[in-house]
Amino acid sequence: MEEKYHKGYIFPDEFYKEYTDFNSHKDFIEKGKEEGIEIILNKTEYSSGVSNLPGKVTLEDVDKIVDNFIAKHSKFKSLEEMIDTAKNIYKDPPDLLPRYSIKERVALTGLIAPNDYELECNICRKHITIAKGTIIPRCNCNPLSIYMIRKIIE
């Protein structure tokens, strides 16, 4: 199932295509930003916020604004309902890269990077940089290739 996920997003693009007005998670996030709503939804973090609000605003106000955005652009009434539905459909999102793997400097394919990393393929020596929350890809050079962690970017 790991090939359905990309960039660490907990739900694949097919979910957004079926249940929302968007074609991908990226489209969903971009439209939210256009409307002043920031939504972070990946394996390592769930959060939402609203920018440019006048005066004192409560968390309930922010939740209402985010829920209105979700209701307007999807089949759901709230972000919580959207997340619950997606979790019921996609029960096995990728796990985080375990500490023992980080200690051994091995980036296992299909797991989510808990930090920003600079990686190098053990076969073709290709270098890539991945962000925190990104699913570690497989190098195309060989099915047996593994990325080695060269640098943890803090």
Which residue range forms the structural domain that includes residue 39? 2-89
The answer for residues whose C-beta is within 8 angstroms of residue 144's C-beta and 6 or more apart is 123
Tell how far CA 39 is from the center of its chain.
11
Give the C-alpha separation, 124 to 144, whole Å. 11
The dihedral sign for the CA sequence 5, 140, 130, 121? positive
Based on the domain organization, do 80 and 19 belong to the same domain?
A: yes
**pLDDT tens, per residue, the chain with 154 residues:** 344 555 556 678 888 899 999 998 889 989 988 988 888 876 666 777 777 666 677 778 888 888 999 999 999 999 889 988 887 887 666 788 899 999 999 999 988 888 899 999 999 999 999 988 788 999 999 989 999 999 988 7
Q: Name the domain count of the chain.
A: 2
Domain final residue, candidates 89, 116, 134: 89
Based on the domain organization, do 109 and 69 belong to the same domain?
A: no
Q: The pTM is what?
A: 0.59
Domain final residue, candidates 70, 89, 108: 89
